[in-house]
Structure 1
Amino acid sequence: MKLATAITVTAFTLLSSALGQDEKPMNAKPTIVLVHGLWADGSSWNKVITPLVEDGFEVISVQNPTTTLEDDVAAANAAIERAKGDVILVGHSWGGFVITESGAHPKVKGLVYVAAFAPDKGETVPTLSANAAPTKLTDFLKEANGLLTVSKEGVAKVFAGDLPKSEQEVIYVVQQPASPKVFAGVGQHAAWKTKPSWYVVASQDKTINPQLEEWMAKRAKSKITVLEASHVAMLSKPKEVLEVILDAVKSTSK
Structure 2
Amino acid sequence: MGKVINIILVHGFWADGSCWDEIIPTLLAEGYEVIAVQNPLTSLADDIAATKRALDRIDGKCILVGHSWGGFVITTVGNDERVAGLVYVAALAPEENESMMDLMSKYAAPSPHFQEQNGFVWISCEGVAQVLANGLSQERKALIYATQTTPSTSLTEVKASFPAWKNKPSWYILAGNDKAVPPDLQRELSMRMKAKTITVESSHFPMISHSKEVLEVIREAAASSQ
Whether these two folds match at TM > 0.5 is: yes
Cα deviation, residue 130, structure 1: 3.2
Aligned to 2:191: 218
Cα deviation, residue 146, structure 1: 2.4
Counterpart CA distance in 2 for 1:119 and 1:28 is 28
Structure 1 residue 193 and structure 2 residue 193: aligned? no
Please point out which of 64, 74, 77 is paired with 1:102.
77
Aligned to 1:237: 210
Aligned to 1:84: 59
Counterpart CA distance in 1 for 2:44 and 2:189 is 19
Aligned to 1:75: 50
**TM-score with structure 1 setting the length:** 0.87
Aligned to 2:5: 30
Aligned to 1:202: 175
Deviations 1:45-85 (A, max 9, x none): 11111100000100000000001111101111111121110
Deviating beyond 4 angstroms after TM superposition, the runs of 4 or more aligned structure 1 residues are none
Counterpart CA distance in 1 for 2:2 and 2:86 is 20
Higher CA-based Rg: 1
**Matched-pair contact (CA < 8 Å) for 2:4–2:223:** no
**Matched-pair contact (CA < 8 Å) for 1:30–1:84:** no
**Matched-pair contact (CA < 8 Å) for 2:3–2:223:** no
Please point out which of 162, 171, 194 is paired with 2:135.
162
Aligned to 2:121: 148
Count of residue pairs the alignment pairs up: 226
Aligned to 1:134: 108
- Judge which range, 138-147 or 200-209, deviates more: 138-147
Counterpart CA distance in 2 for 1:145 and 1:122 is 26
Counterpart CA distance in 2 for 1:240 and 1:90 is 14
Structure 2, unaligned runs of 5 or more: none
Identity of aligned residues (%): 45
SS at match of 1:47: coil
Cα deviation, residue 28, structure 1: 6.4
Please point out which of 177, 195, 201 is paired with 1:228.
201
Aligned to 2:154: 181
Counterpart CA distance in 1 for 2:162 and 2:4 is 26
Structure 1, unaligned runs of 5 or more: 1-25
Aligned to 1:49: 24
Cα deviation, residue 30, structure 1: 2.5
SS at match of 1:32: strand
* Highest RCO, 1 vs 2 (Cα 8 Å, sep ≥ 6): 2
**TM-score with structure 2 setting the length:** 0.97
Counterpart CA distance in 1 for 2:175 and 2:86 is 17
Structure 1 residue 119 and structure 2 residue 91: aligned? no
**Matched-pair contact (CA < 8 Å) for 2:3–2:224:** no
The structure with more helix, counted as a fraction of residues: 1
**Matched-pair contact (CA < 8 Å) for 1:110–1:252:** yes
Counterpart CA distance in 1 for 2:57 and 2:158 is 25
**Matched-pair contact (CA < 8 Å) for 2:4–2:63:** no
Aligned to 1:15: none
